[in-house]
Every structure is written in structure tokens, then in C-alpha cells.
Structure 1
Amino acid sequence: MEEQLQKALNNVSFSVNAEKQTMDLTVIPHGETTPISFHLNYKIVENGEKTEFFVTKIASDRLWVDEIVKMWLEKSNFNYKIPQNIVGIVKMFLK
């Protein structure tokens, strides 16, 4: 998966604001000359021994990409269970 993403995307920039729980990602898809930027809001929820990462909002600087991402987020309710062995590292950067 990672190798496929590297082939499809060039010049990836990524930043996190843990205080505001936001991320900014800019990519240039393979074959494109103009970057696409994404801004997302997230939250980390701890429930007993389980820690989950939830994307609560995604916005893009391109209208058509923005609409696709919003539809995807509405259907998928994106959340990811963080494996226990990396929870500490993830929380150090994202919380």
C-alpha cells in the first residue's frame, strides 16, 4: 500500500497541530502539476485499553475533491484503532 501511494503521489508535505487536533496534507498526484491540499480535524478517544483515532472533518482546496472526501467520510465514519504497541508514540505526536 505504501509503495502504491509513493508511486501515485509526489512532493508530500504533512503537518500536525496537536493542540488544535488538526492535520494539513499537500500532495501532487502523479501526472498532475498542481498540488492538492487537505485539512482535517481529528480526535483521539481512549476507552479503557482501547485507543482510537477518528477523523471528524476533511476539507480540500478543490471543490470536486472536497465533495468526494465529504461523501466518503459520511459513509465510512473513519476511525482507526491504534495498536497498543504504538499508542504512546502516536499520542506523543497527535495529542
Structure 2
Amino acid sequence: MEEQLQKVLNNVSFNVNAGKQTMDLTVLPHGETTPISFHLNYKLVEKGDETEIFIQNIASDRLWVDEIVKMWLEKSSFNYKIPQDLAGIIKMFLK
């Protein structure tokens, strides 16, 4: 998956504000001349030994991308169970 993403995305920048639980991502898709920026809100939820990340909202600087993401989030909530061996490291950056 990572290799496929590297083929279609260039100049990826990624910033996290753990205090506000937000992430900013800017990518330049292959063949595009201007980057696309995303801003998202997340929540880390700990349940015993398990840690999950929930994406609560995603906004883009492009209207058509915004609409696609909005439809996608309405149909399925994005949550990801973080593997236990990575949870500690990820929580250091996101919490």
C-alpha cells in the first residue's frame, strides 16, 4: 500500500497538533500542478490494552475532494485499531 501511494503522491507534508487533536496533510498527486491540503480532527480512544484512532472530520481545500470525503465518512466511520506494539509510540505523537 505504501509503495502504491508513493507512486501517485509527491511532496507529502504532515503536521500534528496533539493538543487540539488535529492533523494537516498536504499532497501533490501525480500529474497535478497544485497540492491538495487536508485538515482532520481525530480522537484517540483507549479501551483497556487497546487503542483506537477515530477520524471525526476531514476538510479539504478543494470542493470536489471535500464532497467525496464527506460522502465517504457518512457511509463508514473511519476508525483504526492501533497494533499494541505501536500504540505507545503513536500515543506519544498524537496525545
SS class of match (1:92): helix
TM-score where L is the length of structure 2: 0.98
Note the 1:80-95 alignment, pairs <5 A: 80-95=80-95
Who is 1:14 aligned against? 14
What letter matches 2:83 in structure 1? P
Who is 2:75 aligned against? 75
Note the C-alpha offset of 1:49: 1.4
Q: State the identity %.
A: 82
Note the C-alpha offset of 1:74: 1.3
Rounded to whole Å, the distance in 2 between the matches of 1:10 and 1:48 is 38
SS class of match (1:33): coil
Who is 1:44 aligned against? 44
Who is 2:62 aligned against? 62
What letter matches 2:65 in structure 1? V
SS class of match (1:74): helix
What letter matches 2:11 in structure 1? N
Q: For structure 2, which runs of at least 5 residues remain unmatched after alignment?
A: none
Rounded to whole Å, the distance in 2 between the matches of 1:57 and 1:94 is 16
Rounded to whole Å, the distance in 1 between the matches of 2:43 and 2:37 is 20
Rounded to whole Å, the distance in 1 between the matches of 2:85 and 2:23 is 23
Q: CA RMSD in A?
A: 0.5
Rounded to whole Å, the distance in 2 between the matches of 1:80 and 1:88 is 15
What letter matches 1:42 in structure 2? Y
TM-score where L is the length of structure 1: 0.98
Note the C-alpha offset of 1:40: 0.2
